[in-house]
Amino acid sequence: MHHFDYNNGTLMVENLSIEALTSRYPTPFYCYSANSIRQQYQAFTDAFSDLPALICYALKANSNQAVLTILAKQGAGADVVSEGELRRALKAGIPAHKIVFSGVAKTEREIEFALAQDILCFNVESATELQQISNLASASGHSANISLRINPDVDAGTHAKISTGKSDNKFGIPYLDALAVYQLAANLPGIQIKGIDMHIGSQISTISAFDAAIECLLSLIEQLKEHHINIEHIDFGGGLGVTYTDQDKSEQALLEEYSAIIHKHAGRLSCKMIFEPGRFITANAGLLITQVIHVKPVQKKTFVIIDAAMNDLIRPTLYDAWHKISPVLEPAANAVTQMVDVVGPVCESGDYIAQDRALTVVKSGEFLAIHSAGAYGAVSSNTYNSRRLIAEVLVDGDRDHLIRPSPSYEDLIALDSIPNWL
Ligand code: LLP
């Protein structure tokens, strides 16, 4: 259940009409439901409430300070992949002892900053990174808590660009090398072995992929025990899929299947558990609100040209992602539909939000809502074609707030600097 329904002929976000919001916020803008975020986080937490679990929200999905504040208040930890994300998490009140730091290549500066904050754990992705963390920790008199991210060589059955657990992906330490790298870790100064970690991909709906990967980690934990290396926590990463299309499984069903797999293995695990969900928490808590500029019929098709573009929401272009599109004003039950391409103003043929989509007939000036845009939407946006980053608005019950304004053109241009010798 998400908080975007028609009421009296207009699409609502919680108790507010989106049409009313468009009179105060120029389109395009992202619009999030605070209660959807809370509800998703709660559902995820409830699924593992009988286990010693810590939920570390993956900031990369949506790292707005207001979104993080909601989650911090719910008790969430954080999974970060850069100093910027670490700073965002801390600023929003997520305590360092609930923050894990992932990523294949943390810089020296990032490691030093994280050491100084005394974070819960570094998820280490190579022997060279382990050595680097050891050197920096010893030099600064710190002790670094580490997990090794294991690459279990499992196919997560998701889009190639977001699959991370196969042996030909750049992520993690090959499971065949894991024992040797743990043995190295056990002998390095400034290193405290805390856990074992995995993350096999994103938007995973073939839940059995998790099963195979966890099995791989469990046998490693047993092997490590024989070598007197003790694991205090297992980090399952993120990756749980969400519902984009009407054919997709419901999020509740996916969560139940996922939880059943974790519980199946829990008996063999006498350690704490960490989860890093991103998309599951925020994807369906956000809409991208846009206005139709032109409707352009050509010989073979009709283009609905909107004011949002690939620079605002890159997912359809990059991952062939399917996002539901609804008119903000509810169409009549017998409204005529037509097949259209919904495209933006950017000068690329790859600039589309939907292709060959059945949409009720729309006219210029009408507003549309693009669904499931709360994760990997605003965070992946950019200023291509010198378009301004778009605003983000949060709705909580009957209150709304501009949680990130759109920078001005002056701000955008002022970032450039002309050498005085030109
Ligand atoms: N942990 C790690 C180490 C990750 O790399 C990721 C996502 C997550 C957790 C969270 O995964 P989630 O629960 O959100 O699936 N931009 C792409 C998604 C990239 C995901 C990258 N890693 C998209 O729009 O589909």
Q: Is the pLDDT of residue 179 over 80?
A: yes
CA of 307 to the centre of ligand 1 (A): 27
Q: Angle 34-47/65-74 helices, nearest 10 degrees?
A: 40
Atom of ligand 1 nearest to the CA of 279: 14
Close Cβ partners of 209 (under 8 Å, ≥ 6 residues apart): 154, 155, 156, 157, 165, 200, 201
Give residue limits of the domains in the chain: 4-31+284-414, 34-282
Verify whether ligand 1 is closer than 6 Å to residue 158 (CB atom): no
Q: State the Cα angle at 196 between 191 and 202, rounded to 5°.
A: 125
239 CB near ligand 1 (under 6 Å)? yes
pLDDT at site 163: 84
Amino acid 143: pLDDT: 96
Per-residue confidence (pLDDT) for residue 212, from 0 to 100? 95
Q: Rounded to an integer, what distance in angstroms lies between the CA atom of residue 38 and that of residue 44?
A: 10
Nearest-atom number in ligand 1 for the CA of 239 is 15
The pLDDT value recorded for residue 294 is 98
Query: What percentage of the chain reaches a pLDDT higher than 70?
Result: 100
**Overall average pLDDT of the 382-405 stretch:** 98
Cβ of 238 less than 6 Å from ligand 1: yes
For 12-33, what is each residue's pLDDT tens digit?
Answer: 999 999 999 999 999 999 999 9
Give the Cα separation of 63 and 44 in Å (integer). Answer: 19
pLDDT score for 284 = 98
Q: Is the separation of the CB atoms in 314 and 351 below 8 Å?
A: no
Note the pLDDT of residue 256.
Answer: 98
Three state DSSP letters for 176-191:
HHHHHHHHHHHHCCCE
Candidates 80, 276, 371: which one to mutate for ligand 1, based on the most atoms within 8 Å of Cβ? Answer: 276
Please tell me if the CB atom of residue 318 comes closer than 6 angstroms to any atom of ligand 1.
Answer: no
Protein residue with its CA nearest to atom 16 in ligand 1: 376
Residue 34 pLDDT: 98
The residue whose CB lies within 8 Å of the most ligand 1 atoms, and thus the one to mutate among 148, 202, 243, 254, is 202
pLDDT at 160: 87
Q: Report percent pLDDT > 90 for the chain.
A: 95
Q: What's the confidence (pLDDT) of residue 121?
A: 98
Q: How far is the CA of 79 from the centre of ligand 1 (A)?
A: 10
Identical topology for domains 4-31+284-414 and 34-282: no
| Distance (Å) from CA 90 to ligand 1 centroid | 20
Among all residues, which ones are annotated catalytic?
A: 347
Please give the pLDDT value at position 197: 98
Contact between 374 and 63 (Cβ < 8 Å): no
Taking residues 289-318, report their average pLDDT: 98
214 burial via Cβ count (<10 Å: 0-12, 13-18, 19+): buried
Whether 1 shows a pLDDT value over 70: the answer reads no
Average pLDDT, the chain: 97
Residue 291: beta bridge partners? Answer: 367
C-alpha–C-alpha distance, residues 262 and 6, integer Å: 37
Residues 34-282: name the CATH superfamily: Alanine racemase (3.20.20.10)
237 lines ligand 1 (CB under 6 A): yes
pLDDT at residue number 3:
86
Which pLDDT tens digit goes with each residue over 61-81? 999 999 999 999 999 999 999
Query: Nearest C-alpha to atom 20 of ligand 1 is from which residue?
Result: 202
Kindly state if the Cβ of 58 falls inside 6 Å of ligand 1. yes
Measured from the CB, is residue 61 less than 6 Å from ligand 1? Answer: yes
Q: 162 falls in which pLDDT band (50, 70, 90)?
A: confident
Per-residue pLDDT tens over the stretch 96-143 = 999 999 999 999 999 999 999 999 999 999 999 999 999 999 999 999
**pLDDT at residue 208 is higher than 60:** yes
Q: pLDDT at residue 2 above 80?
A: no
From 143, 131, 121, select the one nearest 190 (Cα to Cα).
Answer: 143
Homologous superfamily in CATH for domain 4-31+284-414: Lyase, Ornithine Decarboxylase; Chain A, domain 1 (2.40.37.10)
